[in-house]
Each structure stands twice: as structure tokens, then as C-alpha cells.
Amino acid sequence: MSIPESAQRARTRYAAALYRSALLRDPHPARAGRAVITAFGAITWDNVLLDDQLEARLVANFPPLPRFQQRPSQSPVNLPATFCALSPSTRLALGLRIVRGMATPLIAQALWLALPEAQTLLIEGGRAMSGATDTLGGACRSCWSGRLDDPNAGRSHMLTCSTCRVAIPRWEQAERTLSEHLGRALGSLSLPPAIDEALTASLDPSTHTGHTLLWHRPAVLQSVLVLCTLLTLLLLFWPWRTDKLSATASAALPPAAIVAAARNTYAAVPQVSGFLHRRWAITLGQPQLNFQADEWVDPAHPERHRMQLVADRRVAEWEVGDGQDHLLYMSNLVPYFCGASPIGVQSHTNERNSWTMGPTQQAAIRTVRWHHGPWATGLHYLDLAATADTLRSLGIAGSGSAATLTLSAEGRAISGTLLLRFDPVSHALREVRELQHNNGQTEERVPWQLRSTETLDEQTVAPHDLLTSYPDDNQPPLVERTSPIIDDGCPLTGSEQTQSLPRLLMMPNLGPLIGLSALPTGLNQALVVGPPDPAAPNGFNQQFRLEINNLHVVYIGSAKRLVLVPEAPPIAGDHLVAAGPWRVHFFPPEVPTVLTAVLQPAAIGNEQFHNGSSRGNYVRVLAEGWTRDELLAVLATARPLRVDDWANAPDRFYATASLPAAVQAHLLTLFAASRITPGQSHHLVVVETTRQAPFFAGLADPYHTPAALWPAERRQESWIAYGKGGREARALRLTSDMMGHVVAAQWHDEQTWRSYDAASTTVIAQPYRAGAQRVGDAVLPLAAAWQWQWHTLDDGSAVAEQLQPLEALPGNAGLASSEVVYLDNWTNDLATDSALGRAFFDRQGHLRGRETLAILKAATSGTENHLGVTATTPVTSTVMINRAVIEQDEWLPSIPASTFEWTLPPGTKEASADNLLTFYPYFNDPPVKVRNITDAAATMPFTVWDWGPTWTPLEEAPALSGILQQPPHTGQSPPVMRGTIGSAVSLGVAIDAHYVLDNRSVDLLQGPASLLRQLLQQTAPAWISAEQRVVMINTQPRTVWLMRGTTQKSGINIYYNRWIVFEMDGTLFFLRADVQDADLDKIVQHLDGLRQVVPQRQP
């Protein structure tokens, strides 16, 4: 046999799967087999690419089902009755989705459906399987459609739609159940031998008997097809009869000039008497989106216009300018052309948005509409023709008003051949045709076509409201938009949805915001879209936090647009294109005017840990109006935005509320003073004094971080060498007490980052990746807040101050698993929620110091701000919370390499790899919850204890309700740990048993004493007092520590925070109880009842 290699590989890969899919459509084995043979036979296998679309193409070649079918007496597959009751196309669609994992666009291609039709088929099929009988509304259907290929889509809709919150889980569960049924029914089903033999024979040319007719030979057939195509073009475009004026006018211009003229006048209105109505057919995407596009316009006053797009008798976009003072706009195409709205931002889609607007701006927005969205389709093909490798004229055909001038264009960016038809006099574009050769056949597609043109008089327009009416009786709600339009191409994005870039960049832990350092040609402004600014005077929606994944960086121009969305899902595959420091994965275009892609950094940086997920390294791209080469050149310059990007051109970035001129002048001075100097080294010495919890230094127990290891006054010294581009090349940062003893250190070169911690006497080393460049502390508190008051002193130095809420720390009880840093800036014992922040600068703008003062008493006369304190009122009583004084701040042209070397103290241990997982717990599996303590004892490498069967004289014994445990990781044993007691379970060195005693919780954490003691001595004390007792436990006197925290009230509930810590036979017990002191004493009395648990060994 001589089966083509591509056919043999496709048969091996897809034949059995295709047979199973055919059985879902038609459970008759013989017909399913014939469908497989027909599907393979419809493809010419000489030059077939075995890509991810081949299976869909094969399914698309299934023959039509017979009109009248007789079900077989015995089907080879046993399927649920509800599934069998669905239509054949629905069964096939669900099978391709659930069994084959095929994406919805490919399913649409396989079933010869438009994408919305395929989405409806899948949604309604799944809903039928779940028993749903109701009808989905438009917003709900959009949410369901999005979730077909993105399980995270529609989250904002589900927050507000109770119906979808209930129905979608049922739908997804029905799909999972169906997946199990289909897996059992089809999983082991192979292609019957008889069908396989017939398929093999049909693919082997040597088995085809008889003499092949000349007309059946592929080469001859292909030649005939090409000849017929050329003859057709000759007949169509031969100037049999042509207008002398048209021929003369066009003969004087070369093809490139004709295209240029059409581009220049693309949005122009032909001058006619009366009103002009034109209609186009626009076909986009694969699968197709078919629009009927209409424009009614007054040529003398183009601000009076109505533009609309209708698809499947539904309004997709609608714009009306009344020519006087109002513009109205509705669109549901925003996700395709503008990008989906960030979480927490109102999209305003499917609403008639109304703005108060003058005639000049209305006319300008009409012009912009022609350069964006489906309206720009014709312009897109003109741009392709303008840059084509070959552009030639095919002459003028027709006469009078029907005369057309045709150009053909071919080139690297064009798939096949473009035929563009123009008006031979005005050179206005009338039609675009795409010709492509596919397996010896010529395929034709018409993405843009002017269907009709008519002139209307006032008497016709006015009675029917043709310039203002909405083309559907079911009109969307009318919404008055008070904020101005800032993005004419996508007007639904309002100024109230924009952010202040300098404040965003100064927000701690926000993560890198990827953007462009300069505006490329074609873009004139940038904006950041996200939930309302939390620092804005009118507050923000607390339901949606301002986080990196809620922000879109948008660049806008008259005919171009670029959207960069952080935290895109990573892309698997090798089809990546290099662009500077990025690799770009382009998605198949859904519409020809929009490119979508994902940026993947060539080397993953430390930014991933700033965002809690590796998604933070990837950026989704939506670009309208670009060629692929243009976009790659721009994306090569993308990088994390810096404050100096704003400082160099503040007007480039749009913000809802501009900074006051005086404040902006001060900030620009500060940014200039704190700017990084590449190639030099920065040396900084800061002495920081913080108010710590007053009980910290007086606690006598040995089960918390010693106060000497985290003093209230600390000296911080850093040396940072900056390389090319302002990146840190080497750095050393030391934190020490005032006697010079180092309590913490971080240092790195270009290969390795290290961190030393004195409390654990450990060092952690891992590969270094350069993170996003951030401006220094000089501007952090200033750029992130709104209400700074500036005072210039006689010597030219400046003081900035503002009243601000006093940042509340977690309650005492929450500190039981917290780092010791939470004892800094202690305010829990102060009866105030107001603070005064101050920053001190020299005359050049260098930061010299800063402080935060708690306000205990302040005058209240005059106008009060949101804190109840007037900013200019003298403060009469304060308590220092934090103060930093900069002793040295200098830039050095060079420093010895030995400056960055630091010797570890004797006895320092390297922390285990398991410990790194604890630092980044999202890489870790969550702890396991079990109920049987004997099962827990069987899986842990240490002795586990529990109370015995008797518990007297208390009325009720503690009831064990659950145990949290994490089996220990493989690796270093015993682990060298850095962390708090809260990480003990995740490290696998403890179990946490939860008991209930008189409706009060009692948690008993236990594990090896040496390891848990290490963790406790790195943990901030949650208690404010510690009492030492000696208690008889298991016939031995044991030292037991009783710790008491504050009693907290929440509504009618009272929470008691009490702890018991002791060691016994190599085990440390850390018991937290929500009980009063009397019950705490009873628990102490019954510690003697603890017994070793005999593990429940598996047979």
C-alpha cells in the first residue's frame, strides 16, 4: 500500500475518535463508519498540515444525515436517555467539547455554524442535561458563553445575578456527569476492523481500479480551475463599455495613489443634496460575524448622524449625534475591540449612553467611529493594499454609476489575493474580496461591500426619525453619563474609571504594571483603567480591591489602540515570536482589525512573588489598527512602568483628578532628586525608631521572639550598585541594633539572592531575578495620598504633612502566627484613629526624614476634613509612632566589590527547600483535615498525644471536631526553619487538633519540641502577660506557661484569648483556648490526662 504519510498519521490519530464522535451524532455503526470514510476522503492529503484544526475539518466533512432514520436495534454505545433526546448536532457538539476538549470556535467550524450559534447549542444542550427549563437573558447568556472557554469569565456578572450563581454550578456538574457517562460508553470503543480496512483502502491510491479520466487528474483539474478563474476575472473586468470620464480620471493615477486617496477620504461624507443613507455588508472573523452596517448623515452637517450595526436582527452597535447638544451610543462589541472591562468597573454595555456634547465633538466622534471596530474593516484592507508587495490595476468595468475600478494586491501580509473595487471618480472603496486557493479550489470571501446608496429629503427623514431612532422596539435603558468621553474609539470607558499612575506605582505590593516608556507613532495618550481610586476624595467601592489584575493600561490614538492587561494565564507551546525581552504568543484573529496575544517574559522575574501567582509575569495584549510587525516593534519596548515615566511627561497619562499645581511641582522636584543614576552606586543610612507593643520587652516566657532580636531603634544601611537601564546589579542591605549587631540582612549579585535572619540564625539562597525598578522611599508616602500640605521654610527646605487615618494593626489575638514586625508602629492601646504624617526635604528635594504621630487631642474649630480634624489646626498632643532620620544619602561613581560582601555569623544554618514553599504557600497543597487522631498519628513522624477517655470534674469533655495536618515534605531532615508558629502545620512538623469545650474552641498544636520552639521564637507574642507554673503531668513536675491576651468584643460576642505552652517527653504543646480564666485553670488541671496515641496502622 502507498497511503500518503499525512493521511496515515491522521488515520492513526483521529480515525477512532472520529468514529466515536460519529456515533454520538448517529448511533448506527455502519452509517458512522461511512461518515468516517467520507470525512477522510474529502481531504486531499498531499499537502495537509496536521494542526489543531484538522479534527474539526474532518468532522465538518461528515455527510448529511439521512432524512428518515431507523435507529439500530442494538447500539454499540449505552448513552443516557436525556442525552439521546437531544438533537444530533447538539449531541455531536457536546461530545466534541466534553470528550475531545475542543474549543468553541473549532466546534463552530466543525458544525458549519457561526460562533454565537455554536455557543447557544452548547449552552442549551448542557442546560437540558441539568434539567433547566427557563430562558436565559442577554447578560446571562453572555456570561455563559464566556465561560465555555474561560472558567473565570463572567465573575462580575455572577456577583450580581443570583440565577446564574445557582444555575451555572448545576450546568457544570451536569457536564462533569455527562463526561463520566461518555467516558464509560466510548472510552474503550475502537474503530471496527471492517471499517478500518475500508478506510485504509479508500486512502490508498493504488487500490483505485480503472483508468483515471483526464478530467479527474488533480494536475489537470487544478490547471482548469486556475484557467477558469482567470477567464472569469477577464470577463468581469475587461473594459467592454466604460465611461470616458472615469477611464480618463483613473488612468492618470497609479494604483498606490488610488489606495492613498481612498484611505484619506475613508471617513469623508460624499457631498449630495439632502441626507445620505448608505448600507454595507461587513463579514468578520472565523467563524463569521455578519453585520449589516447603516449610516444616515447630513453631508452639510456630519455631526447630525446615525450609525448602526445589526447582526442576526440584533443591534450590536448604535450611535446618534443630534447635531446640537447630545450624543448617544450603545455597544455590545466592547470585548472584541476594546477589551473586557476590569473587575469592579462598570462596562455600560447594552445601555444607551447619553452625553451632553457640542456639534464639533459629535462630528469628530463620527470620524473616529470610522477608524475603530467593524467600521474600520475597509480601512484595514486598504492598509494591507498600501503595503502589499504587488499592487496592480485590473481596469474599469461597467458604466455610469455602476462603473468600478478594480485593483489586485498580493504580499507577505496578505493570505491569497485581495481584489479591491473603487469608485473610478472619487476612489471611494466599494468592495473587498479575498481569493484563496485551497486544495486546488478557489475560495472567495467578501468582508466589506457597499450594498446601496440613497439620498433622502427632509420630508422623508423627519417623520420616521431616521437620524435618531433606535432600530428595535425593545430599547436598552438610557443612562446619562456626566463624565466626559476620554477614549473616542471606545467611549464607554469614562473618566471616573481611570487611575492616577503615580499613586498606583507607589502602592505597596501592587506588583509591576507593564506599559510603554514612550508613546509610539499613532498613539497620543495613555490611561490606566480600573476600579475607582482608593485615594480619591470620594472613596471607592470596597467590594473590588484595587489590585494588579483589576487594572488595564490603555494607549489610544485616532486609528490605533493598545490594551495591556496584567496577569494573563501562561501559554504552553513553542509558537512564540521574540520581541525584545518578551516572547509573544499570537492568537488566531477573531476579527481582522484586532490582534490578540500574550506576552511572556524570556526570564521569569521576582515579580511573580509580588502578585502571589506566576500569572503576574504574563500580559494579555489587545491591539487594534496595527500590523503584526508594527506591534512587535512596540511590544519590544514594554517594561514595568516607573514613576519617572510619569514625571518626564505628566500630561501623557490621563487621570480623573489632576494633582494641584503646587503639589505636582513639589513631586516633580522629589522625583528628580530620587532618580536612579545607572552605572553608579547609592549609599544610604537611616536610623528608624518605632513604637513597639509596651508588653513586648517585659514578657518572661521563652516562647516568642526575644526583644533584643527586634529592638525599637534600628539602623538600616544599604549599598546598591545600578547597572545598565537602572537595574540593581549588586546590593547589600543590613538592619542592626544601635550596638551594631545585625538582626537582618539581604544581599545579591547578578546570580544569587540571599537573606539572613538573626531570630532563626538562618540564611536562604535562591536564584536572583531583577525585579521591577521602584522609586525610593522619598516619594512613597507622597505620591500615594491626596491631601499633603506643603510648607517651604526660610532656608529653602520643605515639610509635607497630612492628616490621615491611623493604620490599625491586627488585634492581639491575630498575632499568634504573625511575624515580629507586626509589633512595630504599635497603636492598639491608643484611643485614637487619627495621625499626622510628616516628611522633611532639603532644598534640592532629597528626603531627610519622616515621622508618623498619633493625635491624642486636637482642636476642632473650623472646617473639618473626613477625619474630623482641620489640616491647618495646630496639634496639641501627639505620640510618636514611627520616625526615620536619614544620616547619609550619597551617590558614588564606584565602590570596591568587597563592599557587597558580608560574612555570616558563626552557626548560621541554610533554610531547607521545604521552607521556601512555606514562604510562598500558593505553591503548596493545603493542609489535610481529618477527624480520627489515630489516622493523623499514623502519617506523622513524631509522637501524637490526646486526652484520655475520662474528663472530670468538668461537665463536658472536649470534643474533637477536626485535625489539620500536612504530611512532611521530602528534603532536609530535620528541616532548618524560618517562619512563625503559624507555618508549623504547612511545614509538616505539627498537627493542629481542634476541640470544642462548652461551645468554646480549644486548639492543641503539637509537634517536636526543638522544631516548634524555633518557630515560636520567631513569632510575635500575641499575649500581654505570661505566668509560669509547675504542674504534675504523667507523674513528673512540668513547667507550664499560661499566657493571657486581651478580651475582645464583637457585637454580643466576647472572645477570650488564652494560651498554655509546655513541653513533655520531646513534644511541645501550644494550646490556644477561647475560655475564661476559671476554665483555663481546669484545662491545666487535666493536662495530666494526655496520653500517647497508638497509630492506626493500615493492614
Asked if residue 231 has pLDDT above 70, the reply is no
The number of beta carbons lying within 10 Å of the beta carbon of residue 196 is 18
| Cα–Cα distance measured from residue 1001 to residue 981, given in angstroms and rounded to the nearest whole number | 18
Which CATH number is 314's domain given?
2.50.20
- Grid cell 489575638 is found at 813
What is the per-residue pLDDT across 582-598, written as a single tens digit (0 to 9) for each?
989 998 888 888 999 99
- Indicate the residue among 422, 447, 478 that finishes a domain: 478
Domain check: are 802 and 739 in the same one? yes
pLDDT of res. 224: 45
Domain check: are 184 and 283 in the same one? no
Domain check: are 514 and 615 in the same one? yes
How many percent of the chain have pLDDT more than 70?
80
Residue 79 belongs to some domain of the structure:
yes
**Which stretch of 729-733, 734-738, 961-965 has the lowest confidence by average pLDDT?**
961-965
By DSSP bridging, strand 352-356 and strand 390-397 are unpaired
Asked if residue 1018 has pLDDT above 80, the reply is yes
Domain check: are 844 and 978 in the same one? no
Residue 321 belongs to some domain of the structure:
yes
- Indicate the residue among 602, 633, 658 that finishes a domain: 658
Give residue 859's Cα distance to chain centre: 47
Q: How large is the C-alpha radius of gyration of the chain? A: 36
Residue 228 belongs to some domain of the structure:
no
**Which stretch of 4-13, 444-453, 682-691, 885-894 has the lowest confidence by average pLDDT?**
4-13
| Cα–Cα distance measured from residue 614 to residue 583, given in angstroms and rounded to the nearest whole number | 16
- Indicate the residue among 835, 865, 898 that finishes a domain: 898
pLDDT of res. 40: 86
Q: Averaged over 79-99, what is the pLDDT?
A: 88
Residue 221 belongs to some domain of the structure:
no
Residue 568 belongs to some domain of the structure:
yes
Q: How is residue 837 written as a grid cell?
A: 504624617
Q: In which band, very low, low, confident or very high, does the pLDDT at 76 lie, cut at 50, 70 and 90?
A: low
Residue 435 structural domain: 241-478
Residue 863 belongs to some domain of the structure:
yes
Domain check: are 172 and 34 in the same one? yes
Asked if residue 792 has pLDDT above 60, the reply is yes
Burial of 1021 per CB tally in 10 Å (0-12, 13-18, 19+): buried
* Secondary structure of 750-768 as H, E, C letters: CCEEEEEECCCCEEEEEEC
Strand order in the sheet with 525-529: 577-579, 582-586, 594-601, 619-624, 561-566, 552-556, 525-529, 653-654
Residue 211 belongs to some domain of the structure:
no
pLDDT of res. 1039: 96
Domain check: are 447 and 526 in the same one? no
Nearest-5° Cα angle at 344, 343 to 347: 85
pLDDT of res. 1026: 94
Q: Which secondary-structure segment (H or E) carries 101? A: none
pLDDT of res. 215: 38
Total of domains in the chain: 5
By DSSP bridging, strand 352-356 and strand 478-480 are parallel
- Grid cell 525581552 is found at 581
Q: Averaged over 435-463, what is the pLDDT?
A: 84
How many percent of the chain have pLDDT more than 90?
26
Q: How is residue 657 written as a grid cell?
A: 483628578
What is the per-residue pLDDT across 384-411, written as a single tens digit (0 to 9) for each?
999 999 999 988 887 777 788 999 999 9
pLDDT of res. 715: 96
Asked if residue 912 has pLDDT above 80, the reply is no
Beta strands in 797-846 (DSSP E): 798-805, 834-841
Domain check: are 786 and 707 in the same one? yes
Domain check: are 329 and 457 in the same one? yes
pLDDT of res. 176: 87
Q: Averaged over 196-225, what is the pLDDT?
A: 59
Asked if residue 246 has pLDDT above 60, the reply is no
Asked if residue 785 has pLDDT above 70, the reply is no
Domain check: are 547 and 606 in the same one? yes
Q: In which band, very low, low, confident or very high, does the pLDDT at 657 lie, cut at 50, 70 and 90?
A: low
CB 578 within 8 Å of CB 635: no
Q: In which band, very low, low, confident or very high, does the pLDDT at 263 lie, cut at 50, 70 and 90?
A: very high
Burial of 326 per CB tally in 10 Å (0-12, 13-18, 19+): middle
Asked if residue 1066 has pLDDT above 90, the reply is yes
Q: How is residue 232 written as a grid cell?
A: 472569469
pLDDT of res. 241: 40
Interaxial angle between packed helices 138-147 and 162-186, expressed in degrees from 0 to 180 and rounded to the nearest 10: 40
pLDDT of res. 355: 94
Q: Averaged over 499-506, what is the pLDDT?
A: 75
Residue 263 belongs to some domain of the structure:
yes
* Contacts made by residues 28-35, CB under 8 angstroms, sequence distance 24+: 28/69, 28/71, 28/72, 28/75, 29/72, 29/75, 29/76, 29/192, 31/65, 31/66, 33/191, 33/192, 33/194, 33/195, 33/198, 34/63, 35/62, 35/63
* Contacts made by residues 300-306, CB under 8 angstroms, sequence distance 24+: 301/359, 301/363, 302/269, 302/363, 302/366, 302/367, 303/359, 303/360, 303/362, 303/363, 303/366, 304/467, 305/362, 305/366, 305/467, 306/466, 306/467, 306/468, 306/469
Q: Which secondary-structure segment (H or E) carries 303? A: strand 301-311
CB 1041 within 8 Å of CB 1028: yes
pLDDT of res. 916: 53
Q: Helices marked H in 405-527 — which ranges? A: 458-461, 501-506
| Cα–Cα distance measured from residue 450 to residue 744, given in angstroms and rounded to the nearest whole number | 72
Domain check: are 280 and 165 in the same one? no
Q: Which secondary-structure segment (H or E) carries 426? A: none
What one-character DSSP code corresponds to residue 45? G
Q: Averaged over 301-308, what is the pLDDT?
A: 95
Beta strands in 752-905 (DSSP E): 752-757, 762-767, 789-792, 798-805, 834-841, 847-858, 875-892
Q: In which band, very low, low, confident or very high, does the pLDDT at 372 lie, cut at 50, 70 and 90?
A: very high
Domain check: are 849 and 763 in the same one? yes
pLDDT of res. 1049: 74
Domain check: are 376 and 466 in the same one? yes
Give residue 950's Cα distance to chain centre: 55
Q: Averaged over 28-53, what is the pLDDT?
A: 82
pLDDT of res. 570: 64
| Cα–Cα distance measured from residue 294 to residue 319, given in angstroms and rounded to the nearest whole number | 11
Asked if residue 302 has pLDDT above 70, the reply is yes
pLDDT of res. 812: 37
> In whole numbers, what is the pLDDT of the chain averaged over residues?
80
What is the per-residue pLDDT across 918-930, written as a single tens digit (0 to 9) for each?
444 433 455 667 6
What is the per-residue pLDDT across 1070-1092, written as a single tens digit (0 to 9) for each?
999 888 888 888 889 888 888 88
